Amino acid sequence: MKKVTISTLIKMKQQGERITVITAYDASFAKLFDEQGMDAILIGDSLGMVLMGEDDTLPVTIEQMVYHTRSVKKGTQRAFVIADMPFMSYATTEQTYTNAARLMAAGASMVKMEGGDWLLDSVRGLTERGIPVCGHLGLTPQSVHKLGGFRVQGREQQQAEDLINQAMALENAGAQMLVLECVPTELARRVTEALSIPVIGIGAGPDTDGQVLVMHDMLGVSANYMPKFSKNYLALCGDIRKAVSLYIEEVKQGKFPTDEQSFS
């Protein structure tokens, strides 16, 4: 069993093999996803919503992220482990270094941060100090109050061009992966083609280098509502391992997402 590294994921993009990602927050689920062959596991700050029942991700703390990252790492042998930096834990570069270091020490192999231009110095600084960074553009849930709700981003021409420029700037600053959330299929395709780092989509159509789902959504057990871009695989299979394996198979074969789970 060969460990998945950032080099593995970049090679997968180059070879056109789709990358499968799922969130996990504890050792048991992480182990199950790892055993089914998931390429990467994200300790998402979505845990604020699916574990804690909050309305958004803003109440999540760095201590909680460290705790869950440690748990996920214990259950993971093969998959690449990415941890979210929570709301306002990367407001300054100093805070960014301290908090990213805590997540890495807890077992993450990469940290993820939401934002574009304002983040470039932090992305460059972390990368230079040996901490790989995943960007996150489009619907960035930590900015929900600024965005006026959880809604599709980049539908207007100018917004779309801005997003492409920010994605390229993140890559130039050293980011080694990018998550695109809730953007039209065509925009996600353009970003994926423009970048040489893997682009992982959620509600971003079928043309990204990989897909990520929140585990509670793909098992149909989310406390709140089920997003349009997700799919309840447990309902289709009746067994968690089979559900995870079908998600992986559908992503690898380009059968998920379809238009039904995408935005135009």
Q: Computed over its alpha carbons, how large is the radius of gyration of the chain? A: 17
Q: Pick between residue 23 and residue 122 the one whose CB is nearest to ligand KIV.
A: 23
- Contact window for ligand KIV (CB under 6 A) among 37-45, 85-93, 224-232, 247-255: 37-45
What residue has token string 């996803």? 33
Binding mask 4-43 for Na ion (x = CB under 5 A): ----------------------------------------
Catalytic residue, candidates 171, 181, 193, 249: 181
Question: Per CB under 6 A, does 219 bind ligand KIV?
Answer: no
**Binding-site member from 20, 46, 222, 262 for ligand KIV (CB under 6 A):** 46
**Binding-site member from 44, 115, 154, 257 for Na ion (CB under 5 A):** 44
Beta bridge partners of 23: 42
Instruction: Compute the distance between CA of residue 72 and CA of residue 49 in angstroms, rounded to an integer.
Output: 18
Per-residue DSSP letter, 98: H
The one of ligand KIV, Na ion, none whose footprint includes residue 65, by CB under 5 to 8 A per kind, is none
Instruction: Compute the distance between CA of residue 25 and CA of residue 41 in angstroms, rounded to an integer.
Output: 9
Question: Per CB under 6 A, does 179 bind ligand KIV?
Answer: yes
- Contact window for Na ion (CB under 5 A) among 81-89, 187-195, 217-225, 234-242: 81-89
CA distances from 142 to 57, 148, 163, 215, 262 (A): 6, 11, 17, 19, 22
**Binding-site member from 6, 24, 25, 45 for Na ion (CB under 5 A):** 45
Shortest CB 7 distance to Na ion, Å:
24
Residues 111-150 that bind ligand KIV (CB under 6 A): none
Binding mask 149-188 for Na ion (x = CB under 5 A): ----------------------------------------
Strand 133-138, strand 80-84: pairing: unpaired
The one of ligand KIV, Na ion, none whose footprint includes residue 20, by CB under 5 to 8 A per kind, is none
Contact 136, 179 (CB under 8 A): yes
- Contact window for ligand KIV (CB under 6 A) among 24-32, 43-51, 62-70, 241-249: 43-51
Quick check: is 181 catalytic? yes
Q: Could you tell me where the beta strands, DSSP code E, fall in the chain?
A: 19-23, 40-43, 80-84, 110-114, 133-138, 177-181, 199-202, 210-213
CB crowding 168-204: b at 16 or more within 10 Å, else e: ebbbebbbbbbbbbbbbbebbbbbbeebebbbbbbbb
Please enumerate, by residue number, every residue annotated as part of a binding site for 3-methyl-2-oxobutanoate: 45-46, 84, 112
Phi/psi for 113 (5° steps) reads -135, 145
Catalytic residues: 181
